[in-house]
Amino acid sequence: MIKNYINEANFEDTGFSYTLSLISGKHKMVILYCLMEFGVVRFNELKRYLKKVSDKTLSNNLKELEADRLITRKEYPQIPPKVEYRLSERGWSLMNVLDQLCIWGEKNRE
């Protein structure tokens, strides 16, 4: 399967490259994993889970994941504002891939 990607004329046109573009970055896979584990999560809960992430970085990552249709954002019209995030159907379809990364990591950890 990987061999097919190597033979491609332009790596950027491959499915592998596209998938990497969706989950690249320091926090996106962790955000997705957190949503998979906990279901519906609010901004401050994500921030506590990620520990050393700024509000701006977390906010940008969430916006990108939402734009890529991997998560959904639900805003409640109340004061103080309440916003919840969850995996979209498309995001759930990516969880098998992330789960395999976890399995590989557990088996190959040194």
Per-residue pLDDT tens for 44-64? 999 999 888 999 999 999 999
Percent of the chain scored above 70 by pLDDT? Answer: 92
Residue 1 clears pLDDT 70, i.e. is over it: no
For β-strands 41-42 and 71-76, DSSP reports them as unpaired
State the Cα torsion 100-102-92-85 to the nearest 10°. Answer: -170
Count CB atoms within 10 A of the CB of residue 65. Answer: 25
Residue that the structure tokens 């990607």 belong to: 5
CA dist 48 → 8, 45, 59 (Å)? 42, 5, 14
Tokens of 91: 């995001």
| Domain regions of the chain by residue span | 25-108
The CATH architecture assigned to 25-108 reads Orthogonal Bundle (1.10)
What whole-number distance in Å separates Cα of residue 102 and Cα of residue 110? 14
The pTM for the full model equals 0.82
